[in-house]
Amino acid sequence: MTLLKVESLDARHGLLQAVREVSFTVSEGETVALVGANGAGKTTLLRALAGAHRPSGGDVIFDEVAITNIPAYRRVRMGIVLVPEGRRLFPSLTVEENLLLATASGRSGVWNIETVLDAFPILRSLRRRPARNLSGGEQQAAAIGRGLMSNPRLLLLDEVSLGLAPVAIEAVYASVRTLIQNGTTILLVEQDLSRAMRVATRILCLLEGRVVLEGTPADLTRERIAAAYFGLGRTSGQETA
């Protein structure tokens, strides 16, 4: 079943058009990786899907409801949750307060403060600590945990491994794999191509705001993705664009 449908979505930052007529769908239970160079429009696309960036054109349809003009907080209540780039925890609030805030979505499900702390055991001893005092990996765990507290149907993960030590990245991706096994639909942005190919069921490659390549990791070779990533040999990219 199609959970998310994006139709010729445009998004701008002033005069700069960051996302150009992007169309794709995500089915329930899929893990889709968005790859692309810096400035390809990945973060803007995720923010537009979450409602944090107002698109200048096109439509976003979630579970057969047009949500293009619905504000971010109501999208969270529908089950679209973004774990933003740079974690964006509330620095002066404790880890527990950060997690509890996400119950504002009013969504119930398997995730609550106890199950989140079970999934991220490192957070258990830190729950009374202000978020600003956490390491990068701990903050990322808290940010993903906060996203889970809303019991998402569609989880948008924006560069969850950025700036983390390799050990912390492994821990974060171990938790992402648990989510995938539990059937959570995930759309993630990942700079590390081999990691994206390991975790995703489908890969979308963005170049200058457009989807230039799309396919399953089995269908695509690293070379084709890399070519699309850097805009080399665009003819090969246009067959799916």
Partner 1 sequence: MVWANAIVQGVLLGGYYALLACGLSLMFGVMRIINLAHGDIAVIGAYLILVALQHTSMSPFTAALIVLPAMLILGYVLQQVLLERSREAGQLTPLLTTFGLAVVIQNAVLQIFSPDVQSFGGSAGDITTASWQINSEVSVPAIGALIFAVAVLVLGGLQLFLSRTRLGLEMRATAEDSDTAELVGINSRAVYARATALAVATAGLAGLFLGIRTTFEPTSGSTLLIFAFEAVVIGGFGSLWGTLLGGIALGVAQTIGEQINPEYSILAGHLVFLAVLASPRGSLLVSRGVQG
| Binding stretches for partner 1 (CB under 8 A) | 50-52, 71-74, 76-77, 81-82, 84, 88, 90-93, 97, 100-102, 104-106, 146, 150
**Cα 195 to Cα 204: distance, rounded to the nearest angstrom:** 14
Kindly tell me which of 44 and 212 has the beta carbon lying closer to partner 1: 44
Q: Torsion-angle region of residue 218: left (phi > 0), alpha (psi -120 to 50) or beta?
A: alpha
Residue 167 CB, nearest approach to partner 1 (Å): 26
Residue 86 CB, nearest approach to partner 1 (Å): 10
Kindly tell me which of 52 and 122 has the beta carbon lying closer to partner 1: 52
Residue 218 CB, nearest approach to partner 1 (Å): 34
- Single-letter residue type at 168: A
- Single-letter residue type at 217: P
Within 10 A of 36 (CB to CB), how many other CB atoms are there?
Answer: 26
Q: Quickly list DSSP for 78-114.
A: HTEEEE-TT----TTSBHHHHHHHGGGG---SS-SHH
**Cα 20 to Cα 211: distance, rounded to the nearest angstrom:** 9
**Cα 73 to Cα 77: distance, rounded to the nearest angstrom:** 7
Residue 143 CB, nearest approach to partner 1 (Å): 10
Residue 141 CB, nearest approach to partner 1 (Å): 16
Residue 106 CB, nearest approach to partner 1 (Å): 7
Kindly tell me which of 86 and 163 has the beta carbon lying closer to partner 1: 86
Residues 31 and 217: beta-carbon distance below 8 Å? no
Kindly tell me which of 73 and 230 has the beta carbon lying closer to partner 1: 73
**Cα 126 to Cα 143: distance, rounded to the nearest angstrom:** 13
Kindly tell me which of 10 and 96 has the beta carbon lying closer to partner 1: 96
